[in-house]
Amino acid sequence: MKEPVLSWCSRSVEALPGSGLPELQDLAQRLITELGHAGLMVAVAESCSAGTLANCLSKAEGAGDVLIGGFVTYMPIAKTGLLGVPADLIETHTAVSGPVARAMAGGVLASTPADLALALTGVTGPVADERGNPRGRVCIAAAMKGGEGMDCHCEFGAFPPPVLLDAALRTALAMGSDLLRRHLGSR
């Protein structure tokens, strides 16, 4: 599958976001508001968060005008079947990798009229996955249609699942806002 973004920038996170980021619902509201002001739409692809990101965005005021929805692609077969992520990409890099997160975001942009795609894949459950990815490893991608993308490799550590999920969601929402502001600033 051809990625629809022109360029990617990457970052790495090796600690929980902690107090460095606003609360989850505040981040969701900020992103929904920014999208509404810009007249743009968002859709998501979720693996480790299993729909929680879309749920969080849906609670923000104005979500009905900008949130298209999303894909819960928990298993690799869903990533390949619903989003067009190449199976060999998953085999080579594992489902918890930057290349797969980027391909998931690209699949969202190719499958929906969204202007912004957010994608999460990782291990937020109590144990490592079958490919040896440890608990707390999360890969996140944000991509703009016809523009640029941003990805983040997170090693949050072996915290309880609710803590890991919160960290992943807050990081994804902050990345979405960052990328949106960069995109709007380049117009």
What is this structure's pTM? 0.91
**CB of 16 closer than 8 Å to CB of 159:** yes
Residue 3 scores a pLDDT above 70: no
Q: Per-residue pLDDT tens for 119-171?
A: 999 999 888 898 999 999 999 999 999 879 999 999 999 999 999 999 999 99
Q: What is the mean pLDDT of residues 164-183?
A: 95
Helical packing angle, 24-38 and 161-185, nearest 10°: 20
Q: How many CB atoms lie within 10 A of CB 81?
A: 12
Lookup: tokens for 11: 């970052």
Mean per-residue pLDDT over the chain, rounded: 91
Asked whether residue 2 is domain-assigned, the answer is no
| pLDDT at 78 (0 to 100) | 97
Domain assignment of residue 179, yes or no:
yes
Q: Are 109 and 143 in contact (CB under 8 A)?
A: yes
What is the average per-residue pLDDT within 83-101?
97
d(CA 30, CA 60) in angstroms, rounded, equals 9
DSSP state of 89: H
CB 183, CB 177: distance < 8 Å: no
Q: Is residue 146 part of a domain?
A: yes
* Pairwise CA distance, residues 155 & 138, whole Å: 7
How many domains would you assign to the chain? 1
CATH number assigned to the domain comprising residue 126 = 3.90.950.20
Largest CA distance in the chain: 44
Residue 109 lies in a domain: yes
Spatial neighbors of 56 by CB under 8 A, at least 6 apart, are 24, 25, 28, 169, 173
> Is residue 1 situated within a structural domain?
no
Domain assignment of residue 138, given as a range:
7-185
Q: How many residues does the chain have?
A: 187
Residue 123 lies inside a defined structural domain of this protein: yes
Contacts of 87 by beta carbon, 8 Å cutoff, 6+ apart = 76, 80
Domain assignment present for residue 97? The answer is yes
Phi and psi angles of residue 174, each rounded to the nearest 5 degrees, phi first? -65, -40
